[in-house]
């Protein structure tokens, strides 16, 4: 099985399981987030040698998990925002991967050799398309009309959240590069460890929570 096939297979298991705990809420989401915290901390202390790396990544991890919990439990609007952040982050990753592989433009930074300018553009484009997916889901689950999300501010939010996701990816890559680490773990075949999978999600959930706190969403 190729690495890409492993990534797809793992994603087909991890995504629906994660969505189950998020939709169920209550003790389900709390237990799920605790499990991520424990596994990610085990990875951090096993993989990274620098204390500053461990402290910084753990702080971002805790902030992101608390953001997820708050967005899940506060209101229906915050739950919708959380669902969008997850959809957008996945869309951003897919867009970055596809455009990076197809167009292979100039490398973005030495921190991560696989990150290219075309990948950034692909991430932004796919993130904007995530608004349509959000509208479709909201129409099914909450009977909200798609046109509600077709406003300029949501397109701006999509760009902000996509850039946050990409920055989170680069941030984890930077700390892995400092300690000459390829993957933070092996728990997720094709992806690596917990940090390798949620690197994009960590900053984007924190930024989304800030947008919600400032009453900019919905």
The rounded mean pLDDT for the chain is 88
Tell whether 199 is covered by a domain: yes
**Helices 51-73 and 26-47 meet at what angle, rounded to 10?**
170
Tell whether 108 is covered by a domain: yes
DSSP bridge partners of 116: 107
In the chain, pLDDT over 90 holds for what percent of residues? 54
Number of folded domains in the chain? Answer: 1
Structural domain harbouring 52: 3-213
Tell me what pLDDT residue 28 has. Answer: 95
Residue with tokens 């902000």: 160
For residue 218, what are its two tokens? 């919905």
* 200 has a pLDDT exceeding 70: yes
* 6 has a pLDDT exceeding 70: no
Tell me what pLDDT residue 180 has. Answer: 87
* 5 has a pLDDT exceeding 80: no
The DSSP call for residue 189 is T
Q: How far apart are CA 210 and CA 204, in angstroms?
A: 10
Q: What's the rounded mean pLDDT across residues 66-94?
A: 94
Q: How far apart are CA 128 and CA 15, in angstroms?
A: 20
In the chain, pLDDT over 70 holds for what percent of residues? 95
Tell whether 218 is covered by a domain: no
Contact predicate 120/166, CB 8 Å: yes
Tell whether 162 is covered by a domain: yes
Tell whether 30 is covered by a domain: yes
Q: Quote the Cα angle for 77-81-83, to 5°.
A: 115
* pLDDT, tens digit, 9 for 90 and up, residues 13-67: 888 899 899 989 999 999 999 999 999 999 899 989 899 999 999 999 999 999 9
* pLDDT, tens digit, 9 for 90 and up, residues 115-124: 788 889 999 9
Q: Quote the Cα angle for 213-67-47, to 5°.
A: 145
Tell whether 195 is covered by a domain: yes
Tell me what pLDDT residue 4 has. Answer: 59
Q: How far apart are CA 5 and CA 124, in angstroms?
A: 25
Q: What's the rounded mean pLDDT across residues 143-172?
A: 91
Tell whether 103 is covered by a domain: yes
pLDDT band at residue 70 under the 50/70/90 scheme:
very high
Contact predicate 47/181, CB 8 Å: yes
For residue 128, what are its two tokens? 């904007």
Tell whether 27 is covered by a domain: yes
Tell me what pLDDT residue 1 has. Answer: 54
Q: Which residue has the higher pLDDT, 53 or 103?
A: 53
């Amino acid at each position: 099985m190729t690495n890409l096939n492993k990534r797809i297979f793992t994603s087909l298991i991890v995504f629906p399981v994660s969505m189950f705990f998020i939709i169920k809420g209550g003790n389900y989401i709390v237990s799920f987030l605790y499990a991520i915290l424990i596994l990610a901390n085990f990875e951090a202390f096993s993989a990274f040698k620098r204390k500053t790396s461990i402290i910084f990544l753990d702080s971002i991890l805790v902030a992101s998990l608390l953001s997820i919990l708050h967005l899940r439990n506060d209101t229906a609007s915050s739950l919708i925002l959380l669902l969008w952040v997850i959809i957008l982050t996945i869309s951003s990753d897919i867009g970055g991967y596809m455009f990076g592989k197809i167009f292979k433009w100039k490398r973005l930074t030495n921190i991560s050799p696989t990150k290219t300018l075309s990948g950034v553009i692909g991430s932004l484009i796919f993130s904007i398309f995530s608004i349509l997916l959000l509208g479709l889901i909201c129409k099914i689950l909450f009977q909200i009309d798609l046109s509600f999300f077709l406003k300029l501010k949501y397109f701006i939010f999509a760009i902000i959240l996509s850039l946050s996701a990409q920055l989170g990816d680069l941030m984890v890559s930077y700390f892995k590069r400092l300690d000459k680490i390829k993957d933070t773990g092996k728990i997720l075949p094709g992806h690596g460890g917990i940090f390798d999978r949620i690197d994009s999600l960590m900053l984007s959930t924190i930024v989304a929570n800030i947008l919600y706190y400032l009453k900019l969403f919905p």
